[in-house]
Amino acid sequence: MECVKDKELGANGREKTVRRWQSTEKEIMGVPIVDKYKYLGTYLDFKLREESQVNHTRQKSNWIYIKLYPYLVNASADGRRDMWQTMVAPLFNGLLALMGEEKSVANLSQVFTIWYGSFK
């Protein structure tokens, strides 16, 4: 394993430097080593952080909102709620399972912000 510095956008939109551990091997006994993996709808990285799942949930809920916008413009409040419960709420199932073990208040508040913001 080696430490690699990457640049990514932070929550405030500024670029920040992040250190990540990266494997020097490509595979172990024929099994490939990957940075993140999707298992039963939940994105896992090698440190089992919820960051990749949060990003996926945010992107997918925004994409669904864009695709459903023509319907949601004229829908009643009950119709909007039903579409949210059917299309968007299941995205949070994997994330809520990870949040049961989360100790950070900042990460929990970020998830709840996405949860409340997804009901548009």
In the chain the first and final C-alpha atoms are separated, in Å, by 43
Burial label, 111 (beta-carbon count in 10 A; 0-12, 13-18, 19+): buried
Among 16-25, 26-35, 106-115, the range with the most confident prediction by mean pLDDT is 106-115
Residue 38 confidence class, pLDDT cut points 50, 70, 90: confident
Q: How high does pLDDT run on average in the chain? A: 80
| pLDDT score, position 4 | 61
Phi then psi for residue 102, to 5 deg, are: -75, 130
Q: pTM for the complete prediction?
A: 0.66
> How confident is the model over 55-103, as pLDDT tens digits?
888 999 999 999 999 988 999 999 999 999 999 988 888 787 777 777 7
| pLDDT score, position 63 | 93
